[in-house]
């Protein structure tokens, strides 16, 4: 197969949308982290996660990634949305999962920064793959206007 064709086979990525809820159970803020130094799009804000490895389920991959990156043990995983993004460096299929509960304090084990955000997101720049997620959250919350600062 030509290289151009093999390059475009999507890589599956498990992504966690960690949410804090208010006393009424409404989703209040979500966790964004920066891509660590040395990675593609270093410094861009995204939802934590990473590639699903051979033999792993989505849930196993997310649990492993969030343990490695944030030092937390997540509880229930709620698969939410799937989106394919085409980057110059890769084509990725992003499996976004909501997570409401976890054990342990957040630690930035890969030198990332973190921010609890609500709409409109104030940190920048956000990763292109993050923007559709902000729109879905806006739809669910009935939020109108720009989802992030450009």
Closest to 40 (Cα-Cα) out of 26, 51, 28: 51
- Contacting range for ligand 8GT; rule: CB under 6 A; set: 45-53, 72-80, 99-107, 140-148: 45-53
Beta pairing, strands 27-34 & 114-117: antiparallel
Question: Rounded to whole angstroms, what are the CA distances from 75 to 102, 103, 123?
Answer: 5, 8, 27
Residues 89-128: x where in contact with ligand 8GT by CB under 6 A, - otherwise, as a string: -x-x-x--------------------------------x-
Closest to 108 (Cα-Cα) out of 50, 37, 33: 33
Least separation in angstroms between residue 62's CB and ligand 8GT is 10
Residues of this chain that bind ligand 8GT (CB under 6 A): 13, 15, 39-41, 46-51, 85, 87, 90, 92, 94, 127, 129-130
């Amino acid at each position: 197969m030509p290289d151009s064709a093999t390059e475009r086979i999507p890589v599956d990525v498990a992504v966690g949308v960690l949410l804090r809820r208010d006393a009424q159970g409404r989703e209040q803020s979500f966790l964004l982290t920066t891509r660590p130094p040395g990675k593609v799009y270093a410094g861009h804000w995204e939802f934590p996660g990473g590639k699903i490895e051979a033999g792993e389920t989505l849930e196993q991959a997310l649990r492993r990634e969030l343990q490695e990156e944030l030092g937390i043990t997540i509880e229930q995983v709620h698969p939410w949305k799937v989106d394919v993004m085409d980057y110059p460096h890769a084509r990725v299929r992003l499996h976004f999962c909501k997570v409401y509960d976890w054990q342990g304090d957040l630690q930035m084990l890969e030198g990332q920064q973190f921010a609890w955000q609500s709409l409109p997101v104030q940190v920048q720049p956000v990763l292109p793959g993050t923007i559709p997620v902000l729109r879905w959250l806006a739809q669910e919350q009935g939020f109108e206007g720009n989802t992030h600062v450009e």
